[in-house]
Structure 1
Amino acid sequence: MSDWKTTYTHFLTSATEDYTNKEKLGDLLVQGELALAKVTVDVASSEISNIEREEELTLYFQMKQLLNMLRALYNDQFEMQPDKQHALVAAVLYFVSPFDAIPDDAPLGLFDDAQVIDYVHEQLASDIDRFHNEL
């Protein structure tokens, strides 16, 4: 098991090299929405603590913003610098992958995903603000 930064770097390389066409981005959007639906089920569960629920809600809302931005990019409704677009795609890739620093089916399996999403969310803060102001 590696740390989330090393694994994220792997996904960033993949985003830069492999996710340059619309078909792959479209598939990634579908995978992202399906993965986000699983978080929704977790948040609604009575089996998690309020602290876990709060963390998963933060993850949900940040990921939803990133997916909305990716959808706008996919539909040519929004533009970003290529390096920031790659970071966005890498975050979504990390989120949908069951094989990351902490496997998603393990206890606290979304902890590393939340760290990556928060990290990228901070990197893209100005783009997120611009996205909300433009659309």
Structure 2
Amino acid sequence: MPDWKTTYAHFLDTAKTAYTANEQRGDLLVQGELALAKVTVDVASNDITNIEREEELTLYFQMKQLLNILRAIYNDQFDMQPEKEDALVAAVLYFVSPFDAIPDDAPLGLFDDAQVIDFVHEQLASDIDRFHHEM
């Protein structure tokens, strides 16, 4: 089984080559919101521990920020450097894909997604701050 960094690199290559058109990014936004809704259901569930809930809440809020930025880029309301946009799109692709380092339906299936989202969230910290000040 590949690690999340190797799998993320695959999604980054996909973002650079297959998700350059605005229409594709619009479709990705819809997929991202649907995947985020599943996390919301998990967080509300009584079947997870408080520690799992806290981790999923962190994932939820970080992913929501990334989706908001992607939406603003899609609507020509925000600009980022192309390599940072690619990282953003790759993170969303990773999050929506059920087939990544740990399949999402497996126990701890969102663990690798959370690592990728946190990694990209840190890479884009200055852009996230700028987004919140400009929007």
State the match for 1:9 in structure 2: 9
- Is residue 14 of structure 2 the alignment partner of residue 24 of structure 1? no
Q: CA deviation at 1:56?
A: 0.1
**Deviations 1:32-89 (CA, angstroms, capped at 9, x unpaired):** 0000000000000001000000000000000000000000000000000000000000
Q: What does 1:23-102 correspond to in 2, within 5 Å?
A: 23-102=23-102
Q: CA RMSD in A?
A: 0.3
> Counterpart amino acid of 1:61?
F
SS at match of 1:14: helix
Moved >6 Å (runs of 4+)? none
For these two proteins, the number of residue pairs brought into alignment is 135
State the match for 1:123 in structure 2: 123
SS at match of 2:99: coil
Calculate the TM-score normalised by the size of structure 1: 1.00
> Counterpart amino acid of 1:128?
I
> Counterpart amino acid of 1:95?
F
> Counterpart amino acid of 2:31?
Q
Q: What runs of 5+ residues in structure 2 fail to find an aligned partner?
A: none
> Counterpart amino acid of 1:77?
Q
CA distance in 2 between partners of 1:118 and 1:20 (Å):
23
CA distance in 2 between partners of 1:33 and 1:11 (Å):
18
